[in-house]
Structures are given as structure tokens and as C-alpha cells.
Structure 1
Amino acid sequence: MRRLPKLNPVLIASALALAANAAADPGGADALTSEGPVQPAKVEGGKYLDKDGNPTYRVTDGGRKVDWNTMSGYLRYNANCIACHGPDGAGSTYAPSLVEALKRDDYPTFVGIVAGGKRDVNAAQELVMPAFGENKNVMCYIDDIYVYLRARSDGVVGRGRPAEHEPRSEAFKAHEDACMG
């Protein structure tokens, strides 16, 4: 039986509780409109949430401008995930496409796999996703990575670096400082 690594509850709680930060509306009255199938339902703690309270994106200007969390997710993905999952979450010969995975996996599933790891073994191959539950460079930004990949999965953000982004909110800065220590 495979034992999961000991997870740091402070990091996981911090990553999952960012939405509970004090409200900050970075986009004014039209902050709840976005391109793509998912519309933000509210803004809390400087980030956009869908109707179910899951982190989501705000993309405008034909996919050229993204919210800060989507931009942060792009940067963090490229710092931590690209080596295995390939450019833009498209997958590689080594690891699956996260763009495709998010068409079926929800937010709690995504966070659970990233925090606790995953192992897929069959007669042809053995795929192992390491656990990142103790890695602040991943867990402090897990919502951002999810939002970026969700925007890619929904087809509203193309390949490559987004051309423009909203400014980083004070709530984001406060969360980052608290989580990274």
C-alpha cells in the first residue's frame, strides 16, 4: 500500500483559503464579465470566483488581457510544471496534458493530485506525479496555476505568454507574503 507524504496543512489551508481574504474588486463594475464559458460570479481577496466558489479567470480583449492570477499561474506553471507537462500545459511524452485533464477534473481533484501526487501504473508504463504539498513555490500559487490551466482548457487563453494583465492586487501581495513567509 502506498503511503502519501505528510502534507503541510498550513500551506494547503492557505492556498485553499485565499478566497476568504478581504474583498477587493480590481475590475470595477465589469469585473464579472469574461470571455469564455465561465463567468466570474464574484471577486474576493483580489481574485475571481465562479458560481461554485472555485477560482476562475477573467479574460478580455480577444484573449490578450488576463487577470493577475491567470498571469501569475502562467509564470508559476512555467517555473514548476513545464518540465514534465510541456509548454502551455499541452502535455509531453513524459506527462499528460493538463489542458485536457481539466476538461474532466474539478478544482478539488486538481488540488488533491498536486498536493498528494498520483501514480498510474499499467502493463505499458508507470506514470508518477510527485506530491508538491510541502512545496511553497507550488502550493502558495496553486489557485493561480489552476486558473491559468482552466483558461487554457476552456480555450480563452492561447499558447504563450499573455500579452497584458491586470495589476497585482494588494490582497494578492498580502497572501503571497503570508504564505511564502
Structure 2
Amino acid sequence: MSVGTAARAEPPGDPTAVKEVDGKFFDKNGDPTYKVQDDGTVDWYTFSGYRRYHAECHVCHGPNAEGSTYAPALKNSVKNFNYAEFYGIVVSGRENKVAGNDSVMPAFADNKNAMCYIDDLYIYLRARSTEAVGRGRPEKKAAKPATFTEAEAKCMSGN
């Protein structure tokens, strides 16, 4: 899809967590979001997103979502698109043609390392976009919820 011809979605808005289900947090719009405790402990999904980002995304988008010479800083980009738009871009890919600065993000629809953790990736990027999570590996993380382990096993096995 070309940015110049696609309708833009509403930005994600306030990332404040208002609901929690089995250790996963959601904002007032029902989109996945992060929760960082006063002592710096991040929720499990933010930590998982950090791990998956650095396994799949950092090669192009740079460490800590800060961009590179050929891919944008996702910590800034995620401020401009909501979860549905993010999901669509990851699944289908995206092509930008702007003043000779052409770029292409491949589709990740068949990549289980991205798709099984797409919420986690979005959550981590939202946390980076507000600096709620700094550069590098979060020092403290919440325990892994049993529901995460179950969903991970199901997704990775294709069931």
C-alpha cells in the first residue's frame, strides 16, 4: 500500500492501561498497551515485545526502535498509527514512494516469530514511543502469565 493513497487511521491516543486480562493490558480503545510499575518493572508483554523486536525488526529499524539509514524509527512511527493499522502493515507489508526515497517493508504474514507476538511488538513500540521504556533490555519484568505460554504454544504449532 502506498501512504499517499491510503486512508490514514486515527493515531493510537492515550496509552494508559485501563483494563487487564491475564497480565495483558489494554487502553480505553481496547488496543494492547503497556504497564510499567513505579519500580521500573514492565509487564510480560512489553518484555516479550522487546525480545521479538530485537529478533525480527531491529535489523532494519535499528536497535531500540530508533531507526536506521533505510528504515524509520518505529518508536516515532507508532505514534501516528493505531493497532489496526500497525497490524495491517506487519501482515501485508508497505511500500512508500516519497520524493525518490522509496522504501519497502516486506509482509510478515507467514512469519510466526512476528505474527505470534504481534501484540507484544506493538506494546513494546508504544512503550518506546512514550519513553516509558528506555533503551536496552528492561531490567525488571513481571512473571510470564500461563495464558501467554498456552497461546504461544498454540500459535507456534499452528493449531
TM-score in same-fold range (> 0.5): yes
Instruction: Decide whether the 8 Å contact of 1:66 with 1:165 is kept in 2.
Output: yes
Mapped to 1, the partners of 2:72 and 2:108 lie a distance apart of 17
Alignment partner, residue 24 of structure 2:
47
Which structure 2 residues correspond to residues 102-181 of structure 1 after superposition, within 5 A?
A: 102-181=78-157
Alignment partner, residue 32 of structure 1:
none
> How many residues get paired?
146
Percent identity over the alignment? 50
Alignment partner, residue 49 of structure 2:
73
- Say whether residues 1:101 and 2:101 are aligned partners: no
How many angstroms does 1:41 deviate by? 1.4
SS at match of 1:113: helix
How many angstroms does 1:61 deviate by? 2.8
How many angstroms does 1:155 deviate by? 1.5
Please give the TM-score of this superposition, normalised by the length of structure 1: 0.77
Identify unmatched segments of 5+ residues in structure 1.
Answer: 3-36
Mapped to 1, the partners of 2:17 and 2:107 lie a distance apart of 30
Mapped to 1, the partners of 2:22 and 2:152 lie a distance apart of 12
- Superposed CA deviations along residues 74-125 of structure 1, whole A, max 9, x for unmatched, are 0000000000000110111010010111111111011100110000123422
SS at match of 2:96: strand
Instruction: Decide whether the 8 Å contact of 1:56 with 1:147 is kept in 2.
Output: yes
4+ residue segments displaced more than 4 Å: none
SS at match of 1:51: coil
Please give the TM-score of this superposition, normalised by the length of structure 2: 0.87
How many angstroms does 1:38 deviate by? 2.8
**Quick check: 43-52 or 145-154, which moved more?**
43-52
Root-mean-square deviation (CA, aligned residues, Å) is 1.6
Identify unmatched segments of 5+ residues in structure 2.
Answer: 3-13
Mapped to 1, the partners of 2:28 and 2:101 lie a distance apart of 39
Mapped to 2, the partners of 1:143 and 1:97 lie a distance apart of 18
- Superposed CA deviations along residues 41-62 of structure 1, whole A, max 9, x for unmatched, are 1112431111111101010235
